């Protein structure tokens, strides 16, 4: 089925059927249009509310991008997993565990922050590998396997820190979360690099084609000679690595780590992917969409505060956006069948 689908897209491209070609990118285009609409709305809104532009200023846009960059990094990882028709619920906990391990090694054990950071990233890869192993060897559904590691990783972070916050990360490390390259915050630079790397991985490499093939139909992929197990192990460890990277950058930004960090952030990342048109059925979607989704969520959260909307409404609005996005996703998916 995967082969047929890709063959079909190739023909459409060649024949230049503009409309069908456009339909293929509909999720990304619609989230981009949605994003632009929200931005225009917020620009007008802040002008009315404050009597001057408070949203579309360079400074504020950099704030929004920095706030969204952590989620964009996580969403890139989880998109790769979702494209294989899997899911990773453990990423919020991996974020917390990796930050706590790094902070522990750095502050309590006196390791150099670079080595400690490497340790944190290894924790991310390790948890991802564990997820992959549970899924491929024990044949547990990804939802259950990652639900278990979600609980386990969070628990380990609590055990390690005894529930306490670990404060006092060195300023060299804090630079990675708080510093800037020119006017652009470093987490944003890293997020752009991660999205670009994931884009190349998904669209330009054999592994990328395997990932889509498995998500389209795992049995067919297996029969066509795709090393399903290995590719799955890779997908989950890549996702774990990016979750720990996001966690480390965030703790660098705060200068500290807590076992309660990133509680529920896995859902933010999944929401960003889904809003950006990554299909939960697998086999479809682009990391660009996921990144757009993360920015859209960030813009909504920023805008709500700019407009002095009380906190409770943020959740309602994000809920509505998810429904709209997923409804569109399913609409497109059905159309293509």
Q: Is 165 in the site for another protein (CB under 8 A)?
A: yes
Closest CA to 68 of 326, 302, 288, 287: 302
Whole-angstrom CA distances from 176 to 52, 110, 185, 247, 250 are 33, 19, 9, 12, 9
Q: Quick one: which segment of 26-34, 258-266, 271-279, 288-296 binds another protein (CB under 8 A)?
A: 258-266
The answer to whether the beta carbons of residues 207 and 303 sit under 8 Å apart is no
Cα 68 to Cα 268: distance, rounded to the nearest angstrom: 10
Q: Is 175 in the site for another protein (CB under 8 A)?
A: no
Q: Which position among 254, 280, 324, 326 is part of the footprint of another protein (CB under 8 A)? A: 254
Cα 337 to Cα 334: distance, rounded to the nearest angstrom: 5
CB of 252 to another protein, least distance (A): 11
Question: In the complex with another protein, which residue's Cβ is closer, 104 or 232?
Answer: 104
Q: Which position among 8, 10, 13, 50 is part of the footprint of another protein (CB under 8 A)? A: 50
Q: Binding marks (x or -) toward another protein, 202..231, rule CB under 8 A?
A: ------------------------------
CB of 287 to another protein, least distance (A): 23
Q: Is 57 in the site for another protein (CB under 8 A)?
A: yes
Whole-angstrom CA distances from 34 to 295, 296, 325, 329 are 11, 8, 10, 14
CB of 311 to another protein, least distance (A): 4
* Helix ranges restricted to H, 138-259: 142-161, 171-178, 186-204, 206-216, 218-223, 228-254
Q: Is 306 in the site for another protein (CB under 8 A)?
A: yes
Contacts of 235 (CB under 8 A, 6+ apart): 80, 81, 83, 84, 86, 132, 211
# residues near another protein by CB under 8 A: 42
Question: In the complex with another protein, which residue's Cβ is closer, 92 or 216?
Answer: 92
CB of 161 to another protein, least distance (A): 8
Q: Is 45 in the site for another protein (CB under 8 A)?
A: no
Tally the residues of the chain: 337
Closest CA to 92 of 261, 239, 250, 242: 261
Closest CA to 150 of 6, 267, 293: 267
CB of 77 to another protein, least distance (A): 18
Q: Quick one: which segment of 80-88, 202-210, 230-238, 260-268 binds another protein (CB under 8 A)?
A: 260-268
Q: Is 149 in the site for another protein (CB under 8 A)?
A: no
**Binding footprint of another protein on the chain (CB under 8 A):** 46, 49-50, 54, 57, 59-60, 63, 67, 70, 107-108, 158, 162-168, 178, 250, 253-256, 258-263, 301-302, 305-312
């Amino acid at each position: 089925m995967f082969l047929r689908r890709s063959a079909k897209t190739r023909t459409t491209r060649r024949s230049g059927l503009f409309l069908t070609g456009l339909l293929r990118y509909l999720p990304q285009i619609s989230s981009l249009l949605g994003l632009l609409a929200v931005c225009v709305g917020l620009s007008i809104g802040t002008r009315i509310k404050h009597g001057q532009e408070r949203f579309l200023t360079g400074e504020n846009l950099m704030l929004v991008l920095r706030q969204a960059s952590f989620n964009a990094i996580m969403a890139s990882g989880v998109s790769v997993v979702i494209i294989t028709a899997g899911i990773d619920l453990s990423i919020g906990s991996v974020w917390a565990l990796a930050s706590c391990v790094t902070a522990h090694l750095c502050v309590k054990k006196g390791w150099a922050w670079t080595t400690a950071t490497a340790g944190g990233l290894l924790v991310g890869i390790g948890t991802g590998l564990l997820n992959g192993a549970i899924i491929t060897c024990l044949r547990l559904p990804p939802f259950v396997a990652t639900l278990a590691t979600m609980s386990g990783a969070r628990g380990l972070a609590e055990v390690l820190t005894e529930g306490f916050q670990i404060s006092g990360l060195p300023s060299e490390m804090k630079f990675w979360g708080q510093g800037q390259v020119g006017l652009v915050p470093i987490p944003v630079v890293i997020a752009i690099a991660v999205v670009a790397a994931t884009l190349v991985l998904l669209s330009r490499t054999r592994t990328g084609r395997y990932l889509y093939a498995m998500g389209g139909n795992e049995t067919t992929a297996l029969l066509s000679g795709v090393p399903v197990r290995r590719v799955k192990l890779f997908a989950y460890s890549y996702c774990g690595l990016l979750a720990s990277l996001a966690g480390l950058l965030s703790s660098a930004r705060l200068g500290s780590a807590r076992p309660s960090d990133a509680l529920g952030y896995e859902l933010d990342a999944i929401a960003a992917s889904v809003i950006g048109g990554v299909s939960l059925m697998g086999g479809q979607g682009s990391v660009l969409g996921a990144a757009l989704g993360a920015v859209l969520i960030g813009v909504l959260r920023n805008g709500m505060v700019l407009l002095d909307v009380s906190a409770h409404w943020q959740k309602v609005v994000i809920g509505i956006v998810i429904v709209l996005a997923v409804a569109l996703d399913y609409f497109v998916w059905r159309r293509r069948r």
